[in-house]
Structure 1
């Protein structure tokens, strides 16, 4: 590999909203893989599918097994990369808390309390410190001065103190959810390496909870500056959307503002790489999954729980500065399961055929987050999806079957065409076990990684608790 390859994964960003509000990235890209589908609808199974090339029922990482610690590099496309690999992630589920770092040579965690990864983490320090927050922060600044990287540690402490001081004020949040840090770490990594690198990143800025931040374009939303998607219980909103039209509008507007912000951050990163990094660098911009935003065609769902809607599975995939002369063929559909094939092709500067006649996706049980008050068996069901020409079949472990019409000219759109119908043979072809049997097996063999209080707090900040 004589070029850097950087994958920018935008957590929770769906294709239609990206295309409408990320014009800078689209202008910088030379190729768009228009019919790309994720292999699952939330982070753990989708990331595992991207790196292993397998479906969730094959690789085994899902609701009932969130621990990547036993995932070997040899099971991923990273085994084929001859140079150092680096992960930079603002997503807890794609980080060391769940063993995701073990497949990389180097890994950087980005969190709201650790803007400068070389410094101490004030949030973790406060949680581990006995006594009140003020006493803990005073002690933290003393520890920061004595640390290996005092300047970065002090900067982290100052940023955390400002965030806490303004949390309940009628002001936009001063700091973003990691994009600025992730982009800075990408440049630092590329600049420090003498050999080409592979870098995988996860940006969490479009992930709930959404709140106005100082960097958002104020013309894109009119929500109060201290408003948050956490102001209402999502289950209550879904049960009675007519009474929550203002909530849904603010939610969608802030989602737009977050994508616009990511667009500006990433466009700046690309320009920085082109100007200041000497080695040729190819950038892949995509998303691990999308987001339901309460639309009727997606059953009024919000978030990414218990669904395989087009809003969740149809994701952007744009290629910036691919190798000269390399042709990427995409007849039919493209799956994020083939991102390793794309990376290997760029590494070898060879033509890549990513086109598939059919693609498939799965979600095994209910993703993390606040649980419903009732019907847990329904929300915890397993779902599978299979795509053919302008059609999509979805079925679940409770015996429900639907066929949807999809349209390549309408990103993230689907329309119910039929229910309670049989499946074509190709729809079930990649699955070695029927859906009911696998769901029972996965639940019976549950293995969930235990996490510390600091990780629990980060999960709560992301709306997972």
Structure 2
């Protein structure tokens, strides 16, 4: 009834006013609210096949870029350049990752350069312009306000809802707030542990999983160790010789990013070392976690490990400063900006899913057919034997990696967080980046990210593939409705603390 809905909304507002007093209380409140939202949904009813995996675990390592795990030949060619002077994408951030190296897989293109649209695309199989979790304007001043506002969440069912409707218990554990806000209400159980280490997020999952070892489960775990503030255990700092006394080393310092001074170079070098240290820590924790769940579940587990986007370390700072407006300013620093390879190319590794043929084809294809994170949802649905979502608004944009992706496909990136909207389209070993507000379009070869003149037929196809910019004729990118939720003051402050400013 209407009065009950109004009463619940009033209680939510009353509870929200006291959340700043105890962050742990705030997390528990948000968890319960997300659980209630899931319980109120009407889920599609589907039946998994007999050979469907009993347990599926998807681990997203926030800000894990591809060359943190493995180097491509182009990236390996020149690691001698550093700092703002190295206006290229060749300064690899590889760290020891024996566990991730042991898994099947390769690289994938993130559909956005920041978390909210990217993880929504991963779980819906749709690009941001289709699932709707995108910014609503392309005005520079409005984009500054959008930094805290966050796009509305998508109302698409997504693969988690489909698995729940097929009888799977579902769980999501988050080490930071932003992905929780994007995916809240999609799982039967939510756990939010802000600023928690990988150890904590992974350990929290085991007590939920243990009593369900004889059931079917789908779990989503979002690790925040590579997102600022970066703070792996002390022995990893020491192993990578990171100077913890450098001011601001755990967070991003955006000032004068295109200038080179001895102090700036020292900060940049140790910021890279800290990132490598955190990558090695996460890899070690994932190895231990995988051993635990394999023993617990008698090896019957399908594991997917991905990055939701990459991270910039000044590789294209000069290029970005000359071509793109940025409200911070932070030119190729952090994430959320222009779709350079260091932000769009992420690892995608799997165990217990036979997708090896797709990745081998990707590596050997002369056209470098790209895999995308929008392929994750169709792949999981295919593994469980689920047909297309009968209640979805449209077919998934992605393809199942179990059956292979089309060689002639075009892969998209969109929904930049900062400045004007910036989009990219990939096909046949090339990429086009375009920004209407910055009056910019340029072609690149991939994965090396070198500026090139695109073949005319490729350029035409890539331009045609670009989705509408905000404000153009696309109902999904219409202005925000008056009754759409906006973050509370406590959420806004927390987002600012996390660097979304």
2:106 corresponds to which of 29, 33, 41: 33
* TM-score (norm: length of structure 1): 0.72
| Alignment correspondent of 2:170 | 85
Q: Equivalents in 1 of 2:472, 2:381: separation in Å?
A: 35
Q: Which moved more, 1:454-463 or 1:338-347?
A: 454-463
How many residues are matched?
376
Tell me if the contact between 2:109 and 2:370 (Cα under 8 Å) persists in the aligned partners. yes
TM-aligned CA deviation for residue 449 of structure 1: 4.1
Tell me if the contact between 1:46 and 1:289 (Cα under 8 Å) persists in the aligned partners. yes
TM-aligned CA deviation for residue 22 of structure 1: 4.4
| Alignment correspondent of 2:129 | 57
Closer, same or farther: CA 269–230 of 1 in aligned 2, 3 Å: closer
Q: Which moved more, 1:218-227 or 1:263-272?
A: 218-227
* TM-score (norm: length of structure 2): 0.67
3-state DSSP of counterpart to 1:414: coil
Q: Equivalents in 2 of 1:460, 1:334: separation in Å?
A: 33
Alignment of 1:179-198 (within 5 A): 179-193=198-212, 194-198=214-218
Q: Which moved more, 1:398-407 or 1:355-364?
A: 355-364
Tell me if the contact between 1:216 and 1:257 (Cα under 8 Å) persists in the aligned partners. yes
| Alignment correspondent of 1:111 | 194
Is residue 66 from structure 1 mapped to residue 85 from structure 2 by the alignment? Answer: no
Q: Which moved more, 1:296-305 or 1:203-212?
A: 296-305
Root-mean-square deviation (Å): 3.1
Q: Which moved more, 1:75-84 or 1:99-108?
A: 75-84
Q: Which moved more, 1:101-110 or 1:349-358?
A: 349-358
In structure 1, stretches of 5+ residues that fail to align are 113-176, 368-378, 408-412
Q: Equivalents in 2 of 1:455, 1:415: separation in Å?
A: 39
Is residue 316 from structure 1 mapped to residue 386 from structure 2 by the alignment? Answer: no
Is residue 357 from structure 1 mapped to residue 408 from structure 2 by the alignment? Answer: yes
Tell me if the contact between 2:303 and 2:351 (Cα under 8 Å) persists in the aligned partners. yes
2:312 corresponds to which of 268, 292, 304: 292
Q: Equivalents in 1 of 2:297, 2:378: separation in Å?
A: 25
Closer, same or farther: CA 420–277 of 1 in aligned 2, 3 Å: closer
Is residue 336 from structure 1 mapped to residue 421 from structure 2 by the alignment? Answer: no
Q: Equivalents in 2 of 1:320, 1:395: separation in Å?
A: 36
Tell me if the contact between 2:228 and 2:499 (Cα under 8 Å) persists in the aligned partners. yes
TM-aligned CA deviation for residue 464 of structure 1: 1.9
Tell me if the contact between 1:182 and 1:201 (Cα under 8 Å) persists in the aligned partners. yes
TM-aligned CA deviation for residue 182 of structure 1: 1.2
Closer, same or farther: CA 66–213 of 1 in aligned 2, 3 Å: same
In structure 2, stretches of 5+ residues that fail to align are 1-51, 71-93, 137-148, 321-330, 362-368, 387-399
TM-aligned CA deviation for residue 382 of structure 1: 1.2
| Alignment correspondent of 1:302 | 333
| Alignment correspondent of 1:161 | none
Alignment of 1:311-460 (within 5 A): 311-322=342-353, 328-330=357-359, 331=361, 332-348=369-385, 351-367=402-418, 379=419, 381-398=420-437, 399-407=439-447, 413-418=448-453, 424-431=459-466, 433=468, 437=472, 442=477, 444-445=479-480, 449-460=485-496
TM-aligned CA deviation for residue 390 of structure 1: 2.1
Closer, same or farther: CA 360–453 of 1 in aligned 2, 3 Å: same
